[in-house]
C-alpha cells in the first residue's frame, strides 16, 4: 500500500519573507501531528534555502518546482540538481503542465530531467495529465500512456521506487473544475496498471499517485476515498496555511 502525501505547489508566489513566515507557521501547526500524511511544500527557487533552514529537523519536506538536466555550464537562468540539494531540497516537481504548455517541455526532456534529479539525490514528483481537448476526444489514456512511456524511458525499478507520480488533468488546474472522484480514480487505476505492466504489481502498489487540479479542503475527502488516489498536489489552496492544513486533515474534515 502506497503512503499518503499532501504536496503544495506554490508556483511563482511568495517572497522570501512570506515563504519563511508560512513555513514557520506550518511547522508550528504540524508539531506533534503524527496523524497527518507526509507533507511537502515547494516554494520558488529564491526562497528554498531560507525555507529549508526553517523546516530543518521537522517532518516537512522541501521540493523545487523545476530542474535543469545538466550538472552545470552555460545555461543562463537554469538551476541544477546539485544546486537544489545544496539549497536543502529533497524532491523536485518535473513536467508540470505549466512547464509543458508555457515553456515547451516535451516528454524526452522531462525524461532527462528525471535522470538528473535521481542522479542528484532528489526524488521526482513526475507530473502527467491530458488537456481538455484530449479528454473531449476521449484520448486521455493514450496521452497518459505516452507520457508515462516516454517520460519513464530507461528508468529501472530502483528509480521508480523514488518517483511520485502526479496525475493533473490540465483542464482542472487553476480552473476551479475538479475531476470527479470517479474520473480521477479511473485515470489513477490506469496509471497504476501501467506501472504494474512495466515494473510489476508489487512496485505499482507502492507507487504514490497524487491527484492535482483545483483540490480544496471541500473536495479532498471524496477524492481521497478513491482506492488509487494516494494524496494531492495542491496549487492555489496550498498558499494559505489554514487551507493547506485542512487539506492534510482530510480524514477529520468531511468537506468543511
Ligand atoms: P491548482 O494547481 O490546485 O491551483 O489547480 C495544481 C497544480 O498545478 O499543481
pLDDT at 254 over 80: no
Nearest to 191 by CA among 137, 143, 148: 148
Query: What are the structural domains, with CATH classification, of the chain?
Result: 5-89+100-201+216-235 (3.20.20.70)
How many A from CA of 149 to the centre of ligand 1? Answer: 24
- Residue 252 clears pLDDT 90, i.e. is over it: no
Whole-structure pTM over 0.75, yes or no? Answer: yes
Give the pLDDT confidence score for residue 255 in this predicted structure. Answer: 52
Mutational pocket test of ligand 1: of 125, 178, 215, the residue with most ligand atoms within 8 Å of the beta carbon: 215
% of the chain surpassing 70 pLDDT: 99
Q: d(Cα 130, Cα 147) in Å, to the nearest integer?
A: 9
CB of 9 shorter than 6 A to ligand 1: yes
pLDDT digits (tens, 9 = 90+) for 50-108: 999 999 999 999 999 999 999 999 999 999 999 999 999 999 999 999 999 999 999 99
Band of pLDDT at residue 176, cut at 50, 70 and 90: confident
For residue 231 the three cell numbers come to 494524496
User: What is the β-pairing status of strands 231-234 and 5-9?
Assistant: parallel
Per-residue pLDDT of 182-221, as tens digits, reads 999 999 999 999 999 999 999 999 999 999 999 999 999 9
Amino acid at each position: 500500500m502506497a503512503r499518503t502525501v499532501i504536496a503544495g505547489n506554490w508556483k511563482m508566489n511568495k517572497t522570501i519573507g512570506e515563504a519563511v513566515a508560512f513555513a514557520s507557521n506550518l511547522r508550528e501547526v504540524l508539531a506533534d501531528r503524527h496523524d497527518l500524511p507526509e507533507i511537502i511544500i515547494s516554494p520558488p527557487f529564491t526562497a528554498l534555502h531560507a525555507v529549508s533552514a526553517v523546516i530543518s529537523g521537522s517532518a516537512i519536506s522541501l521540493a523545487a518546482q523545476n530542474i535543469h538536466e545538466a550538472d552545470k555550464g552555460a545555461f543562463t537562468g537554469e538551476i541544477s540538481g546539485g544546486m537544489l540539494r545544496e539549497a536543502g531540497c529533497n524532491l523536485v516537481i518535473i513536467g508540470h503542465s505549466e512547464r509543458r504548455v508555457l515553456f515547451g517541455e516535451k516528454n524526452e526532456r522531462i525524461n532527462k530531467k528525471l535522470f538528473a534529479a535521481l542522479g542528484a539525490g532528489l526524488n521526482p514528483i513526475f507530473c502527467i495529465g491530458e488537456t481538455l481537448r484530449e479528454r473531449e476526444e476521449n484520448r486521455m489514456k493514450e496521452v497518459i500512456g505516452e507520457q508515462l512511456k516516454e517520460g519513464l524511458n530507461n528508468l529501472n525499478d530502483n528509480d521508480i521506487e523514488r518517483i511520485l507520480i502526479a496525475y493533473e488533468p490540465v483542464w482542472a488546474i487553476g480552473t476551479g473544475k475538479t475531476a470527479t472522484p470517479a474520473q480521477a480514480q479511473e485515470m489513477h487505476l490506469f496509471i497504476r496498471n501501467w506501472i504494474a505492466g512495466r515494473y510489476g504489481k508489487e512496485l505499482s502498489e507502492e507507487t504514490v499517485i497524487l491527484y492535482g487540479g483545483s483540490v480544496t479542503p471541500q473536495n479532498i475527502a471524496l477524492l481521497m476515498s478513491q482506492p488509487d488516489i494516494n494524496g494531492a498536489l495542491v496549487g492555489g489552496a496550498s498558499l494559505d496555511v489554514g487551507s493547506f492544513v485542512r487539506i492534510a486533515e482530510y480524514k477529520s474534515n468531511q468537506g468543511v
